[in-house]
Every structure is written in structure tokens, then in C-alpha cells.
Amino acid sequence: MNFLELAKTRYSVRGYLPKAVEPEKLRYILECGRVAPTGVNAQPQRILVVQTPEGMEKMAKATGIPELYHAPMAIIICVEPECAWTRKYDGHNIHEIDATIVTDHMILAATEQGLGTLWMCRFKPEIIRSEFNIPEKYVPVNVLLVGYPDPEALYKAPDRHDAEGMRKPLDETVSYEIF
Ligand SMILES: Cc1cc2nc3c(=O)[nH]c(=O)nc-3n(C[C@H](O)[C@H](O)[C@H](O)COP(=O)(O)O)c2cc1C
């Protein structure tokens, strides 16, 4: 599978089979996140893996989605802004960018392994913090659901990236030389 095929295979999975993610696949996903680039190689991320039923109940509470599409596992991508690089010209701290490239590496790794994912920013940060004892200095940026896609679930068609209106054409989002 070339990169474009992999990118088009990924889609937001909102329905999972009751099947655990194999430890070696989880390890592979985490390793792909580990080698992701971060600004000045600061590696400010901290990754929290949640895979017990009790943990997934806490995730359901934090997201407000009962049963959380039956996902067997969630990965919370946290980051420590104080460790991340800050651009001196305008004081912009890049912690969310760092967390996000790590997240995307893991998403594509999971896709390559035949797994589905759902990237979620819709969660209550304070509930995530309190339920999982996340120290104040870390920011939970992204939540990733990971598991085997349920073929019966809604929104399953991976080829919908090319469906009419699903993605803007390149000429709407790319320009050359002058914005
Ligand atoms: C930064 C980010 C945050 C997202 N947060 C959520 C979320 O909280 N809940 C959800 O159901 N989908 C979420 N999504 C999934 C998007 O809705 C989805 O990627 C988009 O509609 C395109 O569909 P596709 O992923 O199937 O290609 C998020 C995606 C991104 C990139």
C-alpha cells in the first residue's frame, strides 16, 4: 500500500467489534508515535493507554458518549507545554502541533495494521484529568479510539474521501507563489 492508499484507507470509525487490539499491534502503534518529529526534538508528549472496561467507562464519561462506539481501547495524547518549543517572535508555543503529529503517526500505523481509529477532541478535559490523575502541567490534546471496525457500523465506506463534497478540491486549498 503506498502512502496515498494508506491515507485513503483511514476514516473515522464510529463502531467497533468486541475484539481486543493485540499487544504487538499496540506496541507497533506506540513505536510509530515515538519516532514522530517534534519541534527542536523536544518530545513533550506523554501517552496514556486505556484498555480496561473501567478505563473505557471513564472515557465514556469524559466524552459524554455512552459505550464510546464499543471501542476496546483509547489512547490519550497529552503534552507538556513547558517542554515544547516557543517561537520567540510571537510567543507561540507549539505543543498542540507536537501532540498532533504523534497522534497522526499512530493513526496511520493503526490503519496499516488493519485497525480503525477515531480522533476525538470532543471531551471534557477536567474529567479526563481527574479520572486518570493527569498532572496539571500536562494538557490532554487528543483522544484516539482504536479497534477493529465493525463492518455493520455507520459511516464505514473508506472510499468516501473521493465522494462528492467530502474533500475540497486541491485548487480550493492550494495556491502557488501568491496566496
Ligand atoms: C482534530 C480533530 C478532532 C476531531 N474530533 C472529533 C470528535 O471529537 N468526535 C468525532 O466523532 N470525530 C472527531 N474528528 C473526526 C472528524 O470529524 C473527521 O476526521 C472528519 O469528519 C473527516 O472524516 P474522515 O475522518 O472519516 O475522513 C476529529 C478529527 C480531527 C482531525
| Domain ranges within the chain, ordered by starting residue | 3-173
Q: Measured from the CB, is residue 153 less than 6 Å from ligand 1?
A: no
Q: How far apart are CA 151 and CA 23, in angstroms?
A: 23
Q: What is the pLDDT of residue 162?
A: 75
Q: How confident is the model at residue 53 (pLDDT cuts 50, 70, 90)?
A: very high
Whether the per-residue pLDDT at 157 is higher than 60: the answer is no
Does an H or E element contain 159, and which? none
100: enclosing H helix or E strand:
helix 95-112
pLDDT at 141 over 60: yes
C-alpha 119 – ligand 1 centre gap (Å):
6
69 lines ligand 1 (CB under 6 A): no
Residue (of 148, 140, 153, 173) closest to 63 by Cα position: 140
Contact assessment for residue 132 and residue 61, using Cβ atoms and an 8 Å cutoff:
no
Is residue 165 scored above 80 in pLDDT? no
Measured in Å, residue 97 CA sits from the centre of ligand 1 at 16
- What pLDDT score does 158 carry? 57
Q: d(Cα 69, Cα 167) in Å, to the nearest integer?
A: 24
* Fold of the CATH domain 3-173: NADH Oxidase (3.40.109)
pLDDT in tens, 61-105: 999 999 999 999 999 999 999 999 999 999 999 999 999 999 999
Please check whether residue 16 is in contact with residue 72, taking contact to mean a CB–CB distance below 8 angstroms: yes
More confident of the two residues 164 and 127: 127
Q: Are 103 and 119 in contact (CB under 8 A)?
A: yes
pTM of the predicted model, to two decimals? 0.96
Q: Does the C-beta of 168 come closer than 6 Å to ligand 1?
A: no
Closest-CA residue, ligand 1 atom 1, reads 121
78 in contact with ligand 1, CB cutoff 6 A: no
